[in-house]
Amino acid sequence: MTQELGGFAALELHPSIVAAVVATGYEEPSAIQQQSIPIILAGHDMIGQAQTGTGKTAAFALPILHRIDPSKREPQALILAPTRELALQVATAFETYAKQMPGVTVVAVYGGAPMGPQLKAIRNGAQIVVATPGRLCDHLRRDEKVLTTVNHLVLDEADEMLKLGFMDDLEVIFKAMPETRQTVLFSATLPQSIRAIAERHLRDPKHVKIQTKTQTVTAIEQAHLLVHADQKTSAVLRLLEVEEFDALIAFVRTKQATLDLASALEAKGYKAAALNGDIAQNQRERVIDSLKDGRLDIVVATDVAARGLDVPRITHVFNVDMPYDPESYVHRIGRTGRAGREGRALLLVTPRERRMLQVIERVTGQKVAEVRLPNAQAVLDARIKKLTTSLAPLVGDAEATHGDLLDRLTADIGCSPRALAAALLRKATNAQALTLEAVEREQPLVPNSAPRERTGDRPERGERERRAPMPLGEGRARCRTALGARDGIAAKNLLGAILNEGGLAREAIGRIQVRDSFSLVELPEEGLERLLTKLKDTRVAGKQLKLRRYRED
Ligand code: AMP
């Protein structure tokens, strides 16, 4: 543990922050963290060009936690995020990193939830406020002094905030804060509009950008799949069924993830082990030797632990968690395709990480094609193929040596040779699922699988209809329209129509679930009847929307 503790400790963060980070399982700072943390700690303004997946949240959260004073019970840092989802994610990250800092509280402020408790949490002395601009402005209208004690401001995903039309709100927020504050701006892109904000509101900012020099990748077949974060393990299990691998290395980000995935794989009968920074050197060598000689087939590793690992048997690299930067992607996939052999690299991409994929493609100068998660039929075909391969060599002269025995047994039992062969097969395959229905039953679809319905099986209509709606967000009502996928509707069409015609802010609209013959949309409970009247004549894809409140019972 000491080695990777060094990575974060060298940044001179407060020991309680380093301890929380290590407890979270991070082994060393990512590139954006290495560069940003010292700048923010020193109190400079900063512009960071980084997208989701680079570790940007911790890049600002850790030094900001270091800089606040937990004994003062007033807002000291404000983080602005474009959406409620991101605001919640950032607030949770702060809570995780502040676990060992008693007295630090975090409040998330976003639309669609009642304002009272949010304001109360701010007044009760939350030091960290994570907010969407629209809702924060509502609070400022009620109490213009809310932000007067804030001396650190972070604009997270600034380009997204501008795209969503928050420019005016940002100006209001800037004015409500002390001019002497520190301002940090993170954005995936730096268009003119962002530079203009930086010029007006940041003082002598330092620039941080992950170096993206072109990298060459040879002889490795690359592909990516879109999955939700909570479906990664089941996606890996399915992929393993169909990929013909010799040895495989799966990369994840944290120690805990190495342990979790390795034990999930072991439970399914794979010869798998975890490799992370906590594992002692002699044990590490044992794991690598086992991978070399075939006692192990899969190693689940963090980047740090896999450093210098050179095993020619590796045919596959699974990037289960996204690497922090293109260089480490190239590094990781270079573990396969050794000694002129063919290699295959698969990358799991969550919806929010698509930008990172584009950066990787740009830097490597190669397209990483999208593939779909194998469906039940593909899993079944792969199983039967494996069975054929393992049984074929057994046939040989078995009939000559055991044919008479077979005749005698079938006569004694009073069954056909086919019945006896089937019984032996059932025993030999250990009750493994070997029909389509059985495979489908064994690998049920994860609820609401596949972002944009693009990955995984496209479930049949009935199955999609049956999936339970997701739990409802606080302060929201679920509404239903009879328009669905079969009408050519996608979530973005519904979103666009409701934004335009309803005059709502993006953050006011919650989850949108498009099913085959209907769709569900989460809208603010407050003013719902008025909104539905407003949307009475709205048409989407040429058809009347007819949105109605939906009762689940
Ligand atoms: P972000 O780019 O901030 O959205 O972070 C992406 C993911 O990386 C999050 O799940 C973080 O928990 C994780 N992460 C951030 N920094 C590190 C680190 N140094 N080591 C391991 N995981 C990290």
Q: How remote is the CA of residue 276 from the centroid of ligand 1, in Å?
A: 16
pLDDT at 450: 42
Which atom of ligand 1 is found nearest the CA of 352? 4
pLDDT score for 421: 94
Is residue 448 assigned to a domain? no
**Spacing, Cα 39 to ligand 1 middle (Å):** 19
Atom of ligand 1 nearest to the CA of 29: 19
Residue of the CA atom closest to atom 6 of ligand 1: 53
Residue 68 is assigned to a structural domain of this protein: yes
Residues 142 and 193 in one domain: yes
Residue 447 in any domain: the answer is no
The residue out of 162, 182, 209 marking a domain boundary is 209
CA 296–ligand 1 middle distance (angstroms): 28
Determine, yes or no, domain membership for 87. yes
Instruction: At 167, list the tokens.
Output: 């420019």
Atom of ligand 1 nearest to the CA of 89: 4
- Classified as helix, coil or strand, 102 is coil
Q: Is 458 helix (H, G, I), strand (E, B) or coil?
A: coil
The tokens for 477 are: 């009502």
474 alpha carbon to ligand 1 midpoint, in Å? 27
Measured in angstroms, how far is the CA atom of residue 211 from the centroid of ligand 1? 18
Q: Per the domain annotation, does 62 fall within a domain?
A: yes
Indicate if 202 and 286 belong to the same structural domain.
no
Determine, yes or no, domain membership for 46: yes
Whether residue 386 sits in one domain with residue 369: no
Residue 319 Cα to ligand 1 middle (Å)? 14
Q: Whose CA is nearest to atom 11 of ligand 1?
A: 55
Please check whether residue 450 lies inside any domain of the structure.
Answer: no
In 3D space, the residue among 16, 132, 139 whose CA is nearest the CA of residue 79 turns out to be 132
Give the residue, out of 8, 32, 35, 57, with the most ligand 1 atoms within 8 A of its beta carbon, to mutate for a pocket test: 57
Chunked in runs of 10, what are the mean pLDDT values of the chain (553 residues)? 61 94 91 95 96 90 97 97 93 97 95 90 94 95 92 96 92 95 95 93 93 66 93 94 94 95 95 93 92 96 87 94 90 78 90 91 89 92 94 92 96 96 91 87 52 34 40 79 84 82 78 84 87 86 86 64
Mutate to test the pocket of ligand 1, among 34, 253, 303, 325 (most ligand atoms within 8 A of CB): 253
The DSSP output letter for 100 is T
What are 65-79's pLDDT values in tens digits? 999 999 999 999 999
Centre of ligand 1 to C-alpha 55, Å, is: 4
List, in order, residues 6 or more apart from 423 with CB less than 8 Å away: none
Confidence at residue 363, expressed as pLDDT on a 0 to 100 scale: 85
Q: Are residues 419 and 528 in the same domain?
A: no
What b-and-e string marks burial along 231-263, b requiring 16 or more CB atoms within 10 Å of the CB?
Answer: bbbbbbbbbbbbeebebbbbbbbebebbbbbbe
Which atom of ligand 1 is the closest one to the Cα of 28? 19
Quote the ligand 1 centre to 20 CA distance (angstroms): 13
From 89, 232, 324, 328, mutation site for ligand 1 pocket: most ligand atoms within 8 A of C-beta: 324
Atom 21 (ligand 1) nearest CA? 26
**Closest by Cα among 454, 456, 531, 524 to 84:** 524
Q: How many domains does the chain have?
A: 4
What's the CA-to-centroid distance between 57 and ligand 1, angstroms? 7
Residue type, 41: L
Distance 32 CA to ligand 1 centre (A): 10
In a domain, 215, yes or no: no
Check which CATH number belongs to the domain holding 534 and give it. 3.30.70.330
Cα 58 to ligand 1 centre (Å): 7
| 276 and 161 housed in the same domain | no
The Cα 365–Cα 329 span in angstroms is 13
Task: Report the nearest atom of ligand 1 relative to the CA of 57.
Answer: 3
Q: Measured between alpha carbons, how far is 428 from 49 in angstroms, rounded to an integer?
A: 56
Q: Which domain covers residue 103, as residue numbers?
A: 2-209
From ligand 1's centre to the CA of 541, what distance in Å? Answer: 39
Nearest CA to ligand 1 atom 5: 55
Residue bearing the CA closest to ligand 1, atom 16: 55
Both 28 and 121 in one domain: the answer is: yes
Model confidence, pTM: 0.62
* Residue 231 · residue 449 · CB < 8 Å: yes
**Residues 156, 9 share a domain:** yes
Torsion of CA 537, 542, 546, 547, to 10 degrees: -100
For residue 332, give the CATH number of its domain: 3.40.50.300
Residue nearest to atom 1 of ligand 1 (CA): 55
Residues 62 and 177 in one domain: yes
Distance 18 CA to ligand 1 centre (A): 14
Q: Give the closest residue (by CA) to ligand 1 atom 19.
A: 29
Find out whether 150 and 177 touch, Cβ atoms under 8 Å. yes
Residue 422 to residue 419: CA distance in whole angstroms: 5
Looking at the structure, do residues 279 and 295 belong to the same domain, yes or no? yes
358 and 404 both lie in a single domain: no
CA-93 nearest atom, ligand 1: 12
Residue whose entry in the numeric block shows the structure tokens 């025995």: 405
Ligand 1 centroid distance, CA of 30 (Å): 8
Task: Indicate whether 201 and 236 sit together in one domain.
Answer: no
Q: Would you say 504 and 512 are in contact if contact means Cβ atoms under 8 Å apart? A: no
Task: Output the ligand 1 site: residues, CB below 6 A.
Answer: 26, 29-30, 33, 52-58, 253-254
Testing ligand 1's pocket by substitution, the residue of 8, 11, 30 carrying the most ligand atoms inside 8 A of its CB is: 30
Q: Are residues 165 and 303 in the same domain?
A: no
